[in-house]
């Protein structure tokens, strides 16, 4: 064959062939990664369920850890028998799930409205929520949420068959969400708050992200939470805010008179230390022991066991009264060792310290104090509490890290009346300007 007889090479065909091979490789690679991803999710799901079953199997040992864990276990052992005693078929029910007491407070404004049309059942994860609220007048039936296994989820959901399920703030339970979805029961996340460092936004968080796919609508507290969800492809989002603003705002119209607090305070400047823990005491004890005559301190500890109260009293070198043992109104300190008064006590505060953020127990409700308008002081660990971060950014909340910074902050607030007044206006306005979440939620839950 002569060279001149050779046909020119069709470069277009070669290019097409190469593109096809590249495309075929991409398709194969994408299929491989998709299969790998599904396999990883499946393994995570199997691991999750295995751990859940093992934990439930270990209940006899778990309840020996502490009195609180004993309540945690025994409450769950009895729950199925308790559920069988309730007639869920004669009425329409709404199911709320709350991790603990704080989440229940977020649920209350919505419960109050929905209770006008439905029966209300509330599940709790923690004994601190269930034991305090199991007989609350808004709840028709309260129970401990059984461990999140497929079998437990099927029993609970199919037995209650709620009209809707509302999970509060952080509660994402894979098997319960899946079962609710199978039974065509809408799931609403109420006062949800998301952070960039949460595991569901990490590379290993695919399993948790899949759980969010079952949610019918997210009612989030802030723009950051909404943006994080949008980045994951979710559009069923409403920035409703925090329902606790609605709850605490109503406190202003209630009778907050407590004669024993008024008589103890008299004309002194009152510093309220609410929901405190032993690690908080390392921050404020020195300031109390060295305080001026025109200042009184009212302490409402989170735990009111006698040994905890006695330990607190032993650290104080100034005259101190304990509510249960009688009050001397000339004393410097009053320790309120009972529950149910704190919200009203805040109405007497000139300055408030809210416990839980010195250690890792979790910051307690700052809004109960903020609604009455006063400077708020907390520890440093407020990352998981968007309301605290927002109030700090506005200048209404001051964080302290130790006894020295607490002393400096208190001295400045005591001696600078104008600063105290200006901060009080900030906190009061913060509480007033964030109401309305309940209305936004009900518009979608009950269209």
For residue 98, the domain's CATH number is 3.40.50.11720
Point out the domain boundary residue: 241, 276, 296. 241
Query: Among 185, 190, 187, 208, which Cα is nearest to 198's?
Result: 208
Residue 13 domain-assigned (yes or no): no
Point out the domain boundary residue: 213, 241, 269. 241
Q: Supply the pTM of this predicted model.
A: 0.80
Record the tokens describing residue 153, joined without a space.
Answer: 């989820």
My answer on whether 197 and 86 are in the same domain is yes
Tens digits of pLDDT across the chain (447 residues) = 443 444 444 444 545 545 544 545 544 455 655 666 566 666 777 887 788 878 778 877 877 788 877 887 787 888 888 888 888 888 999 999 999 888 999 999 999 999 999 999 999 998 888 888 989 999 999 999 998 999 999 999 999 999 999 999 888 889 999 999 999 999 999 999 998 888 777 777 777 788 899 999 999 999 999 999 999 899 999 999 999 999 999 899 899 999 999 999 999 999 999 999 999 999 999 999 999 889 999 999 998 999 999 999 999 999 999 999 999 999 999 999 998 899 999 999 999 999 999 988 889 999 999 999 999 999 999 988 989 999 999 999 999 999 999 999 999 999 999 999 999 999 999 999 999 999 999 998 876
Record the tokens describing residue 87, joined without a space.
Answer: 């007639």
Q: How many domains does the chain have?
A: 2
Alpha carbon distance 252, 250 (integer Å): 5
My answer on whether 310 and 342 are in the same domain is yes
My answer on whether 310 and 368 are in the same domain is yes
My answer on whether 224 and 311 are in the same domain is no
Q: Which residues span the domain enclosing 284?
A: 255-432
Q: What's the gap between Cα 209 and its chain centre?
A: 19
My answer on whether 73 and 189 are in the same domain is yes
Residue 19 domain-assigned (yes or no): no
- Residue 393's domain is classified under what CATH number? 3.40.50.2000
SS3 at position 303: coil
My answer on whether 303 and 420 are in the same domain is yes
* Sign of the alpha-carbon dihedral angle for 115, 118, 119, 124: negative
My answer on whether 121 and 266 are in the same domain is no
Q: Across the beta sheet with 237-239, what order do the strands follow? A: 141-144, 119-124, 93-98, 164-168, 187-192, 217-220, 237-239
* Sign of the alpha-carbon dihedral angle for 367, 368, 370, 374: negative
My answer on whether 168 and 98 are in the same domain is yes
My answer on whether 286 and 350 are in the same domain is yes
Point out the domain boundary residue: 241, 265, 294. 241
DSSP of 362-397, one letter per residue?
----SHHHHTT---EEE-S--TT-HHHHHHHHHTSE
Beta-carbon count within 10 A of 379 CB: 24
- pLDDT tens readout for residues 32-69: 556 665 666 667 778 877 888 787 788 778 777 888 77
Residue 7 domain-assigned (yes or no): no
- pLDDT tens readout for residues 67-78: 877 887 787 888
Contact 177, 215 (CB under 8 A): yes
Residue 24 domain-assigned (yes or no): no
Residue 424 domain-assigned (yes or no): yes
My answer on whether 138 and 229 are in the same domain is yes
């Amino acid at each position: 064959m002569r060279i001149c007889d050779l046909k020119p090479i069709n470069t277009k065909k070669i290019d097409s062939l190469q593109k096809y091979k590249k495309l075929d490789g991409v398709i194969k690679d994408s299929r491989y990664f998709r299969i790998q991803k599904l396999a990883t999710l499946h393994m995570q799901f199997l691991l999750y369920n295995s751990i859940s079953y093992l934990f439930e199997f270990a209940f006899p040992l778990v309840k020996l850890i502490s009195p609180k864990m004993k309540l945690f276990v025994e409450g769950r052992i009895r729950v199925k028998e308790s559920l069988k005693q309730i007639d869920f078929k004669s009425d329409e029910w709404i199911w709320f799930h709350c991790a603990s007491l704080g989440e229940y407070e977020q649920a209350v404004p919505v419960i109050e409205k929905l209770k006008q049309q439905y029966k209300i059942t509330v599940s709790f994860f923690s004994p601190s929520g269930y034991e305090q609220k199991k007989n609350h007048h808004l709840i028709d039936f309260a129970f401990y949420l059984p461990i999140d296994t497929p079998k437990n989820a099927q029993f609970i959901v199919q037995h209650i068959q709620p009209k809707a399920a509302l999970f509060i703030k952080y509660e994402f339970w894979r098997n319960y969400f899946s079962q609710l979805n199978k039974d065509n029961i809408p799931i609403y996340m109420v006062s949800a708050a998301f952070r960039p460092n949460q595991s569901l936004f990490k590379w290993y968080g695919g399993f948790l992200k899949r759980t969010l796919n079952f949610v019918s609508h997210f009612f989030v507290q802030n723009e950051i939470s909404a943006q994080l969800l949008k980045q994951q492809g979710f559009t069923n989002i409403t920035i409703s805010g925090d329902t606790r603003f609605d709850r605490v705002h109503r406190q202003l119209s209630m009778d907050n008179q407590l004669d024993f607090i008024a008589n103890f305070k008299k004309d002194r400047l009152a510093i309220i230390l609410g929901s405190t823990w032993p690690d908080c005491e390392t921050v404020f004890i020195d300031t109390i022991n060295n305080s001026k005559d025109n200042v009184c301190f009212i302490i409402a500890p989170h735990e009111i066991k006698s040994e905890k109260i006695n330990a607190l009293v032993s650290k104080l070198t100034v005259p101190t009264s304990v509510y249960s043992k009688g009050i001397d109104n000339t004393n410097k300190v009053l320790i309120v060792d009972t529950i149910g008064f704190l919200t009203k006590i805040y109405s007497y505060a000139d300055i408030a310290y809210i416990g839980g953020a010195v250690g890792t127990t979790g910051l307690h409700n700052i809004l109960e104090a903020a609604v009455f308008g006063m400077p708020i002081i907390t520890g440093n660990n407020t990352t998981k509490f968007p309301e605290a971060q927002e109030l700090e950014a506005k200048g209404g909340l001051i964080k302290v890290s130790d006894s020295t910074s607490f002393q400096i902050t208190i001295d400045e607030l005591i001696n600078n009346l104008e600063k105290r007044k200006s901060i009080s206006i900030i906190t009061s306005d913060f509480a007033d300007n964030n109401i309305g979440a309940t209305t936004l939620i009900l518009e979608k839950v009950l269209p």
